[in-house]
Amino acid sequence: MSSSSTPFDLPKRFSLSAQAAASIRKAIHDGTWEEYLPSERRLCELFQISRPTIRTALHLLAREGLIEIRQGRRNRLLTSPRETSHRQNRLVGLVTPEPFAHVSPTAYQGISEMRAHLAEHGFATEILVCPPRSARAQRRKMEEFVRQNRVF
């Protein structure tokens, strides 16, 4: 084995366009924009990413039915922030008894692939570390997570 090879596969990185789509989705949900999104150029400036990446993110959102892409015109929101807040929460909480950095390489790769797949389909993920102290402490931590993320 050469010094540059590893005994395990490196984790896959999240697609930048999926991350941008998740950020735009959250901004829509939070009511940052009304009726129309900013121009692609402005979105590039806001998110500090390239136009092709923003376009891919916008196409993801269009496939979800959140926006309508119109050639030569501003991209229109198809749902108001109020309507969006009543839609299902697009956040998945991943519960683990130890920090993500401490899991085995195989588990790390599997979780990374799952998070990338979820991100491609419009779901954000958040790691929730619940050490196995007591059932009561775990329940409190889960309840806090649900409350903070407005999960119903």
Q: What are 26-54's pLDDT values in tens digits?
A: 888 888 888 899 999 999 988 899 999 99
Q: Report the pLDDT value the prediction gives residue 11, as an integer from 0 to 100.
A: 58
Distance CA 102, CA 100 (A): 5
pLDDT level of residue 6 (50, 70, 90 thresholds): low
For the cut 80, the answer to whether the pLDDT of residue 67 exceeds it is yes
Distance CA 105, CA 15 (A): 20
**Taking Cα atoms as reference points, which of 74, 34, 63 lies closest to residue 122?**
63
Distance CA 22, CA 60 (A): 10
CATH architecture for residues 16-85? Orthogonal Bundle (1.10)
For the cut 50, the answer to whether the pLDDT of residue 1 exceeds it is no
The DSSP secondary-structure symbol of 6 reads -
Q: What are 87-134's pLDDT values in tens digits?
A: 455 778 878 888 777 888 888 888 878 887 787 777 777 777 887 777
pTM given for the model? 0.49
Q: Considering the chain, tell me which residue range(s) the CATH 1.10.10.10 domain(s) occupy.
A: 16-85
- Total residue length of the chain: 152
pLDDT level of residue 82 (50, 70, 90 thresholds): very low
Token pair in block for residue 142 = 């889960």
